[in-house]
Chain A
């Protein structure tokens, strides 16, 4: 049951750590690296609060075995902001009241980013589908959907 060495890119920064066999990426990020932005929700793949991007693809950190990200690029909400400046998606979430308790927000933002990276002009149905694996118990989803559409429209204006 020895620890194994693990190296990967965490928000563009190389990390090298040792993990116990069977440790999830979520525990690795939160407890070993100290990145608390992926949230610990159900630990069963049902809530989406721990959503992160692995090589640009949306994954659930709680169901990802840490060893499987060896040599890959992991992106979390912590890597989204640029210094004190919020990412356009974060700005849109704040402006459109898309967060209440905020627990689902990191996962929602990463799911939204995965969508906009691939499809900068999503329809409402695309947004609904993109966040369908993320549970929010406060907002009723509508403000979140609006925020993602606003961020997408803003992105098109800026471009």
Chain B
């Protein structure tokens, strides 16, 4: 069924168009919206686009980075100052998908997709959203809980760079290499102070319909040195609060069985 395509010069106009039309969807790289259209999703009646260059901007020079919602994964891999995000970006799709898929769109990708968002969740990112009421910053956790009801347009995401390369870890478990859908995806941000972990954040993908934090595992790490006892306690708590489902890549049972194993490997720095 043909749909109406509306292209705006500014993100503000695009956000207003999205807010006023229930059947409108924003088209970023196309890897979600075009899929839905090709499948015959009749809920989409209007496609909204914005040619606003601000959506393509990367500001990564300082300790806090801001990435426009329209930035593709290929652009992230090409940006030296975003080295900590190269592994999550590289884990997505093949080269064509990375040339198309965007950071903003990934926030709306449900399980088993949305791997980049797992990394952003561990990094405690904030999401800038433009709605009819103006622009506001939302914590990524709050954003993910209400993403289906979001009216407006994601402008950018921002997060603090990890203190060291070792403080941020990411792993996507797939059945096929190098490209494959996620069996589970894990990311951990482990800032330390005087040899103890302070403000641990662990995020999981494909362990629930939406990316989520493993808060019990985080509590097991908090204030402790990253030793074998702490890692075992965190691994044992990894499944708490999760609700994985069966799909073609793995069963819910299998996901529950392996998440602790892979969290242990991630925290121990094992390959």
Interface residues, chain A, CB within 8 Å of chain B? 1, 4, 20-24, 43-45, 48, 51, 57-60, 62-65, 67-68, 111, 114-115, 128-134
Chain B residues with Cβ under 8 A from A63's Cβ?
29-31, 34-35, 38, 100
A48 contacts B94, CB within 8 Å?
yes
Q: Cβ of B99 < 8 Å from any Cβ of A? A: yes
Chain A residues with Cβ under 8 A from B30's Cβ?
63-65, 68
Number of A-B pairs whose CB atoms are under 8 Å? 91
Chain B residues with Cβ under 8 A from A133's Cβ?
93-97, 179
B5 contacts A129, CB within 8 Å?
no
A23 to chain B, nearest CB (A): 8
Q: Cβ of B9 < 8 Å from any Cβ of A? A: no
A129 contacts B100, CB within 8 Å?
no
B215-254: contact bitstring with A at CB < 8 Å (1 yes, 0 no)? 0000000000000000000000000000000000000000
Indicate the member of A51, A59, A130, A132 with the most B CB atoms within 10 Å. A132
The residue from A1, A60, A131 contacting B4, defined by CB atoms under 8 A apart: A1
B34 contacts A111, CB within 8 Å?
no
Indicate the member of B5, B7, B44, B93 with the most A CB atoms within 10 Å. B5
On whether A132 and B34 interact (CB within 8 A), knowing A22-B47, A65-B47, the answer reads no
B34 contacts A65, CB within 8 Å?
yes
A22 contacts B96, CB within 8 Å?
no
In the bound assembly, the distance between CA atoms of A22 and B2 in angstroms comes to: 6
A74 to chain B, nearest CB (A): 13
Chain A residues with Cβ under 8 A from B2's Cβ?
1, 20-23
On whether A4 and B5 interact (CB within 8 A), knowing A45-B97, A132-B95, A133-B96, the answer reads yes
B95 contacts A130, CB within 8 Å?
yes
On whether A60 and B47 interact (CB within 8 A), knowing A21-B3, A44-B35, the answer reads no
A22 contacts B179, CB within 8 Å?
no
B94 contacts A134, CB within 8 Å?
yes
Chain B residues with Cβ under 8 A from A62's Cβ?
34, 38
Q: Cβ of B27 < 8 Å from any Cβ of A? A: yes
Chain A residues with Cβ under 8 A from B179's Cβ?
132-133
B93 contacts A67, CB within 8 Å?
no
B35 contacts A64, CB within 8 Å?
no
21 contacting pairs across A/B (C-beta < 8 A): A1-B2, A1-B4, A4-B5, A21-B4, A23-B2, A45-B31, A45-B93, A48-B94, A58-B99, A60-B96, A63-B29, A63-B35, A64-B30, A65-B47, A65-B49, A111-B94, A128-B178, A129-B95, A132-B95, A132-B178, A134-B94
**Nearest residue in A to B27 (C-beta to C-beta)?**
A65
A108 to chain B, nearest CB (A): 11
B216 to chain A, nearest CB (A): 35
B97 contacts A22, CB within 8 Å?
no
In the bound assembly, the distance between CA atoms of A59 and B98 in angstroms comes to: 9
B95 contacts A58, CB within 8 Å?
yes
Q: Cβ of B37 < 8 Å from any Cβ of A? A: yes
In the bound assembly, the distance between CA atoms of A129 and B74 in angstroms comes to: 13
On whether A22 and B5 interact (CB within 8 A), knowing A43-B38, A48-B94, the answer reads yes
Chain B residues with Cβ under 8 A from A45's Cβ?
31, 34-35, 93, 96-97
